[in-house]
Amino acid sequence: MNNKLYSFLILTSILILSTLSGFAQQNNTLLTIGEEKISSEEFLCVYNKNNVNDEVLNKETLEEYLDLYINFKLKVKEAEAQGYDTIPALSKELAGYREQLAKPYLIDEEVNKQLMEEAFSRMQYDVRASHILIKVGESASAEDTLRAYQKIQNIRKKVLQGDSFAKLAVKYSEDPSAKDQEHRGQVRKGNKGDLGYFSAFDMVYPFETAAYSIEIGSVSRPVRTKFGYHLIYLADKKETLGKIKGAHILLLTNKATTAEDSAAIKTKIFEVYKKLENGESFAALAKEYSDDLATARKGGDLGWFGCNKYIPEFTEAAYTLKNEGDFSKPFLTVYGWHILSLIEKNDGIGSFEDNKDKIKQRIAKNDRANLSKISLVADIKKEYGFNINQEAAQEISSVVNNTVFDGSWKNESEKELTATVFEIGEATYSQKDFALFIEKNQKRVKPVQLDKFIEKQFIAFVEDKCIRYEDSQLERKYPAFKSLMQEYHDGILLFELTNDLIWEKAISDTIGLTKFHQEHKLNY
């Protein structure tokens, strides 16, 4: 760099000090390296970000940092001149960083905030509900959907007229767990629709929402989920059990073949209970008497569990235990007679701040994340302008065939597929783009009506392309994002250049190292 340019840069840095208050409104070019123009605002942003010691902005510190910044940028330009920015591994690394940095920009923060607050509110309570399910697929025909809806409505009328929900569940529910089932020669009792206790995130979102929205003792309107139509009966609602560490003693009743055998087992469990009341060790009695061999050798220890892990009767007993060391009275389940002991309890879920990150992660993996995506896509359509050609999209039905349901369809049509299916901003997507999307994302699924399948795929196609379009605009819309990406880009290139030209050379140049050692060994 010639002295005139350097003097100019120093003069500019002094000028920066005198005009600092105007920088927010200006974007003047401070220096040019190659074809890159760097504004005084950009330079100050980097300076302030790296000024970790909060040094007062003055001529000396600006001159020093400007010199370092120029050298840094020149090294990055050298890396670009040597083609480091075209190395596939480095491009992939930078793309990976960008993907992570872009995620917060590609959600509807307001909707996400509402979902987080709603989930935290529900986490304060555990609910116990029963359901009746009439199955119908998400892509079922209008006729099949209507038939299932009418069937669930007729069952609801019977409930409202006073019929037993449990008996109706056994008779009509298409959830197999409602009815008694034979398993390995034994009859496994059905739950009569009783799903036990659960909390936020334990069920699919529409089901959870309905369960938390009705009063105890009431039945919901038909609720549609990916499984079909449900009626939900709310049996109980309690303040959260939290997490407890418990132990149990179990005497299995499937060993009983006669009424006398059953009576003997009941007598035995109450004898064990009496020993506990007399102060004998729970762990020792579990080892001696419990038929649950997996836990008996550990003194009956079940580890930590919440409201949704075990059957309702077991959870009910857990709610009665308040203090560490408490144990329940003997109670009967489909497995046998139990006594439950409380080892440790964590009944507080903490504050919203304590749970915020965990809730956010669970929402991202939960079906309620679709609400945020739907809202985001709606905003994108509104911002950039969205034009759709529904007829062109539906024409894909004549190209796709039933092989798509076993994941083997290929677009071998002789049709041109050039018609536009939708536009967003400056991007245009054709029938061919839609066909390629279907081909790329197909997987083995249960066959449904082809037009319903195409309709669902088109919704997914539009969502995908709208979000990708928004992603392509992030650097333009958000200066902070653009600046951060530039930092990652420059940092990666500088690291690789320095590694190749200095660090690796220094390690491999044994002659040079020996010579340097000989010349400088007396200095240290």
C-beta of residue 192 within 8 angstroms of C-beta of residue 178: yes
- pLDDT less than 70: residues of the chain: 1-27, 51-57, 183-186, 255-256, 347
Confidence (pLDDT) at 96: 94
Helix axes 369-384, 109-122, angle to 10 degrees: 160
What pLDDT digit, counting tens, does each position of 378-436 carry? 999 999 999 999 999 999 988 999 999 999 999 888 788 999 999 999 999 999 999 99
Other CB atoms within 10 Å distance of the CB of residue 95 = 9
Q: What tens digit of pLDDT does each residue of 147-191 get?
A: 999 999 999 999 999 999 999 999 999 999 999 887 666 677 899
Residues 6+ apart with CB under 8 A from 300: 247, 248, 249, 282, 283, 286, 287, 290, 292, 341
Nearest one of 239, 202, 205, 210 to 115, comparing CA atoms? 205
- Which tokens go with 127? 């609910």
Please state, in angstroms and rounded to a whole number, the distance separating the CA atoms of residues 433 and 438.
9
Task: Specify the residue for token string 């999307």.
Answer: 437
The pLDDT of residue 56: 65
The answer to whether 233 and 159 are in contact (CB under 8 A) is yes
Cα separation of 163 and 157, whole Å? 9
Q: Which amino acid is at 482?
A: K
> Rounded distance, CA 241 to CA 194, Å?
18
pLDDT at 457: 94
Residues 6+ apart with CB under 8 A from 185: none
Q: Quote the CA–CA distance of 435 and 53 in Å, as a whole number.
A: 56
Q: Can you give the pLDDT at residue 183?
A: 67
- Sequence-distant (6+) residues with CB within 8 A of 476 are 482
Question: For position 53, what pLDDT does the model report?
Answer: 63
**Helix/strand/coil for 346:** strand
